[in-house]
């Protein structure tokens, strides 16, 4: 699953993390990674600083097995792989809301 994240803006009603949206699902990490790095369908949309790919199993209320975090690189006009941001260090399972 791919989800994008907009950090809180001053006075935001969305809280510290800001807002997120589920962008899509891929059957392979490679496909998801290419979509994020290449900013397919304009994931960035002039606002979405972070993107996360989560590996999950099929089922109800499943926990994320692994996650890969990306941050927008304005100079390269792409997302770069990063360590999990402090902003969300205690949060998991973005894909299931």
Which tens digits make up the pLDDT trace of 22-36? 888 899 999 999 999
pLDDT-based confidence at residue 15 (cuts at 50, 70, 90):
very low
Cα three-residue angle 3-91-53, rounded to 5 degrees: 30
Q: What are phi and psi of 5, to 5 degrees?
A: -135, 130
CA 87 from centre of chain = 12
- Residue 17 reports pLDDT greater than 60: no
49 within 8 A of 58, measured Cβ to Cβ: no
- Within a domain: 94: no
Does 97 reside within a domain? no
In a domain, 58, yes or no: yes
Residue 68 falls inside a structural domain = yes
Tokens of 47: 């606002």
In a domain, 59, yes or no: yes
Total of domains in the chain = 1
Let me know if residue 93 belongs to a domain. no
What percentage of the chain carries pLDDT values higher than 90?
A: 42
> For residue 45, what are the domain limits?
2-88
CA-based torsion, 37, 43, 49, 55: positive or negative: negative
pLDDT confidence bin for 56, thresholds 50/70/90? confident
96 part of a folded domain:
no
User: What predicted TM-score, i.e. pTM, was given to this entire model?
Assistant: 0.81
Whether 63 maps to a domain, the answer reads yes
């Amino acid at each position: 699953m791919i989800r994008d994240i907009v950090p809180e803006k001053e006075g935001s009603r969305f809280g510290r993390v800001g807002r997120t949206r589920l962008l899509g699902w891929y059957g392979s990490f490679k496909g998801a990674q290419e979509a994020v790095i290449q900013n397919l369908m304009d994931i960035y949309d002039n606002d979405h600083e972070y993107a996360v790919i989560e590996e999950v199993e099929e089922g109800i209320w499943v926990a994320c097995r692994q996650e890969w975090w990306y941050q927008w690189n304005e100079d390269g006009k792409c997302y770069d792989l990063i360590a999990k941001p402090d902003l969300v260090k205690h949060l998991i399972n973005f894909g299931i809301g």
